[in-house]
Structure 1
């Protein structure tokens, strides 16, 4: 699957959907982003069941600010609407593959239980 471009209008619906969603936060002026882009694209073709999305932080500054993106590229991984991973820096293909495998292997019922346990009581 090719990558999809996210906007303010599509970000929440995409990241809250069932399944695994990887989001690459980038900007055209960012050298590491330009190096990571082809790696992200190549890996996306190997995982048609995973959504690979890109968000241009210059065009979508509201989302970047909401998520406290201060360094790019930043990669976030969501599964079933839960944020599992967020880290800045370009990754090699092997590391990206490893993260996808880890996201696939999680017991999401256990993850949701842990998230609920860590959330402050309302």
Structure 2
């Protein structure tokens, strides 16, 4: 199996200073563990944030945040209940298990609020 190298945000509408980096952590053939690092490089504090993106694989479990929903390829993730604030200079690492969809390509069309 080929494991993609970490890739930066692709498409979408992330606010200035917000970045997302994705990589496959483990690959078991028909399923895999992915990781998205959401980083706030801005001077703004985000309270009660939501991250959305399009992804071709089905996420079956997620930790480090809350999986709010997945409809088709659109995934919605919200801040974890224990840490609603994304302060300047901080980051959140979101891990997930997914079943192989059409591929393990990078999530695209990120949006953040």
State the TM-score, normalizing by the size of structure 1.
0.26
- Higher strand proportion, which one? 2
Compare relative contact order (CA 8 Å, sep 6+) and give the higher one, 1 or 2.
Answer: 2
State the TM-score, normalizing by the size of structure 2.
0.27
Greater gyration radius: 1
- Higher helix proportion, which one? 1
